[in-house]
């Protein structure tokens, strides 16, 4: 036991792995505490907003710990991309879900048992598979991570009954590993549910700051016809930017997508009524930057890691602020400026009440159904309050999630209320969301706290032209590797290259987001392009 304790990786080891695989010199707030806990053998519950880097919390330990880290995830359609992204970072990944053909599954398990992989993504439904259960008892599992952990709770946004099997799976292992539960949004009640239903052992609970100062928040009341025109005009005014447009029904998704395509915009639709093949093709086109705009219902998005989404537009009211902030938070994951628009009408409120009244039974008692309905009505009330707000939108979100609002007493200077913007004035907005000096200062301060290589960026002569060339190079290399462009390098890393103009391997490695693996893989071609 003494030798095993001595052999445990430390937080310093984790920082070295972060630099080597991901190219960052320090963790974002909260990541280090969660990683340190599981490396010490303790359970953890991490509540981190979209874009805060939840996946690093289990990917770095997986690179350090002996054996096979198991990641339980509902995101079957994304697992292949996640594994490819790990390969780009020099971490050996695999996945096990229903998308694998029956004759392939035993080979995947055989390779995993032979030590081919550091990490395996597993759909929750696979945990009851006898073949997988037998496999799990024969391999060393140093960590079980549960992504989208709120799915275990009927009080959460995306209840998945299969998540209730996770605790029994962990209990069936010969030796219980540390368990890490991760979610983007969770109220106190959902957090308590997660801890109880997953049977976490005295977990450290990390609730990271929900403020995303690089996101410009706007809410405008527009009729459905007006907002369709607004979306088309906005996208045409931002022709090189990638974005997501959310609509509340499949019919509206197709109407908006068709309208954008008719305007010559590379857009695609995504909703649950499409075939698996068509949904996969739409997601692939968007993630790989072949379609710049994706119009979708909320069936799309959970777990999407695309970092260069520059805008998210909601056409219609989400059912809760949790749902809205998770959707809006898919913009600007790289820390660069991004815009989030909520376009709503009074008719949307009636639609939301209808959806709430359609709550399915799912084996619940009548009393439970009524409690769920009452909870959803309360959450909708908060969402309506945000849409109609006459006070700072950023402060309203932070208060809702129980976060401090210091410095926002006189507004954030980066939302439609504080800037007194109307829907018409966004139609004439400059190419990237404008920021006041006070908003820019807040962004700089937040970035400094996170110790990341982001300064307020003011393009110099030739900078935008070089950035465009680097984007084109990234796209070509990504297509050759069969991975999304953001997996090669994020927009933020490309911006850092433009600012720093590295001229050799050492200088290239000093760019935030460039690790040793990517230096070896891409350094020569990017250095040549920068020096051209």
pLDDT for 110-143, tens place per residue?
999 999 999 999 999 999 989 999 999 999 999 9
More confident position, 76 or 246: 246
69-72 sheet: strands from edge to edge: 93-96, 119-122, 69-72, 144-146, 179-183, 44-47, 204-207
**CATH of the domain spanning 463-531:** 1.10.150.80
Q: How many whole angstroms separate alpha carbon 143 and alpha carbon 81?
A: 21
213-243 residue pLDDT tens: 899 999 999 998 899 999 999 999 998 899 9
Rounded Cα–Cα distance for residues 258 and 269 (Å): 8
Q: What is the percentage of the chain residues whose pLDDT exceeds 70?
A: 88
* Residue 194: band (very low, low, confident or very high) from pLDDT cuts 50, 70, 90: very high
For 146-159, the pLDDT digits (tens) are 998 988 887 666 67
The average confidence (pLDDT) of the chain is 86
Lowest mean pLDDT among 234-238, 274-278, 525-529: 274-278
Mean per-residue pLDDT, 254-267:
94
Q: How much is the average pLDDT of 377-387?
A: 93
Q: Is the pLDDT reported for residue 272 higher than 60? A: yes
Contacts for 123 with CB less than 8 Å, ≥ 6 apart: 72, 73, 74, 76, 79, 96, 97, 98, 162
| pLDDT, position 410 | 82
Q: By C-alpha distance, which of 308, 317, 309 is closest to 351?
A: 317
pLDDT number for residue 279:
87
Task: Please state which of the ranges 255-259, 350-354, 466-470 shows the lowest mean pLDDT.
Answer: 350-354
User: Where is pLDDT greater, at 158 or 178?
Assistant: 178
The answer to whether 109 and 131 have CB atoms below 8 angstroms apart is yes
**Is the confidence at residue 444, as pLDDT, over 60?**
no
CA-CA-CA-CA dihedral for 511, 512, 517, 523, to nearest 10? -30
| pLDDT of the residue at 50 | 73
> 63: pLDDT confidence band, cut at 50, 70 and 90?
very high
51 by DSSP, 3-state: which? coil
pLDDT band at 375 (very low <50, low <70, confident <90, very high): confident
As a whole-number percent, the residues of the chain with pLDDT over 90 amount to 56
Fold annotation for 2-207:
Rossmann fold (3.40.50)
Domain boundary assignment for the chain: 2-207, 215-445, 463-531
Q: Give the pLDDT score at 446.
A: 47
Query: What confidence tens digit (pLDDT) does each residue in 289-333 have?
Result: 999 999 998 766 655 678 889 999 999 999 989 889 988 989 998
Query: Is the model more confident about 402 or about 381?
Result: 381
Average pLDDT (54-67) is 95
Model pLDDT, residue 462: 83
> Is residue 430 scored above 50 in pLDDT?
no
**What pLDDT was estimated at residue 432?**
41
Stronger pLDDT, 290 or 423, i.e. the higher one: 290
Task: Please indicate whether residue 377 or residue 428 has the higher confidence score (pLDDT).
Answer: 377
CA 443 to chain centre: 20
pLDDT band at 202 (very low <50, low <70, confident <90, very high): very high
- For the domain covering 215-445, report its CATH number: 3.40.50.300
pLDDT at 434 over 50: no
Those residues whose C-beta lies under 8 Å from the C-beta of residue 411, and which sit 6 or more positions away, are: 392, 395, 417, 418
Q: Is the pLDDT of residue 175 over 80?
A: yes
Fold matches, 2-207 and 215-445: yes
pLDDT for 407 equals 79
């Amino acid at each position: 036991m003494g030798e095993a304790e001595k052999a445990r990786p430390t937080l310093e080891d984790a920082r070295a792995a972060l630099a080597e695989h991901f190219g960052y010199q320090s963790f974002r707030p909260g990541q280090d505490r969660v990683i340190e806990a599981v490396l010490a053998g303790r359970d953890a519950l991490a509540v981190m907003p979209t874009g805060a880097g939840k996946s690093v919390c289990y990917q770095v330990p997986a690179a350090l710990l002996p054996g096979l880290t198991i990641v339980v995830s509902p995101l079957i359609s994304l697992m292949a991309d996640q594994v490819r992204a790990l390969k780009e970072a020099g971490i050996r990944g695999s996945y096990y879900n229903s998308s694998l053909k029956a004759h392939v599954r035993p080979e995947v398990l055989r390779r995993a048992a032979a030590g081919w992989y550091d990490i395996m993504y597993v759909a929750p439904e696979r945990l009851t598979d006898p073949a997988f259960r037998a496999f799990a008892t024969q391999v060393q599992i140093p960590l079980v991570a549960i992504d989208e952990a709120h799915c275990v709770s009927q009080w959460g946004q995306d209840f998945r009954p299969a998540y209730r099997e996770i605790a029994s799976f962990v209990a069936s292992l010969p030796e219980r590993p540390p368990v890490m539960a991760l979610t983007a949004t969770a109220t106190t009640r959902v957090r308590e549910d997660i801890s109880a239903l997953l049977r976490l052992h005295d977990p450290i609970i990390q609730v990271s700051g929900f403020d995303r100062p690089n996101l410009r928040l706007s809410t405008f009341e527009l009729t459905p016809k007006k907002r369709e025109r607004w979306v088309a005009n906005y996208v045409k005014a931002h022709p090189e930017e990638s974005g997501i447009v959310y609509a509340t029904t499949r019919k509206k998704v197709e109407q908006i997508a068709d309208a954008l395509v008719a305007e010559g915009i590379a857009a695609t639709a995504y909703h649950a009524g499409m075939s698996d093949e068509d949904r996969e093709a739409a997601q692939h086109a968007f993630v790989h930057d072949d379609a710049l705009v994706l119009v979708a219902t909320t069936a799309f998005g959970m777990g999407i890691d695309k970092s260069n989404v520059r805008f998210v537009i909601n056409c219609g009211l989400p059912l809760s602020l949790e749902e809205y902030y998770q959707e809006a938070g898919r913009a600007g994951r790289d820390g660069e400026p991004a815009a989030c628009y909520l376009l709503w009408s009074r008719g949307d409120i009636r639609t939301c009440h209808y959806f709430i009244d359609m709550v399915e039974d799912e084996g619940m008692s009548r009393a439970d159904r009524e409690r769920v309905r009452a909870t959803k009505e309360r959450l909708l009330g908060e969402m309506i309050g945000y849409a109609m707000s006459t006070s700072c939108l950023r402060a309203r979100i932070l208060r809702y999630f129980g976060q401090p609002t210091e410095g926002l007493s006189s507004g954030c200077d980066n939302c439609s209320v504080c800037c007194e913007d109307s829907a018409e004035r966004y139609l004439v907005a400059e190419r990237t969301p404008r920021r006041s000096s006070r908003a820019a200062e807040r962004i700089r301060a937040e970035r400094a706290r996170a110790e990341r290589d982001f300064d307020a960026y003011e393009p110099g002569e030739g900078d935008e032209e070089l950035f465009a060339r680097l984007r084109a190079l990234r796209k070509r290399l990504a297509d050759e590797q069969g991975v999304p462009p953001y997996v090669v390098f994020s927009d933020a890393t490309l911006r850092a290259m433009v600012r720093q103009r590295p001229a050799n391997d050492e200088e290239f490695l000093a760019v935030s987001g460039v690790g040793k693996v990517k230096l070896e893989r891409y350094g020569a071609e990017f250095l040549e392009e920068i020096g051209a």
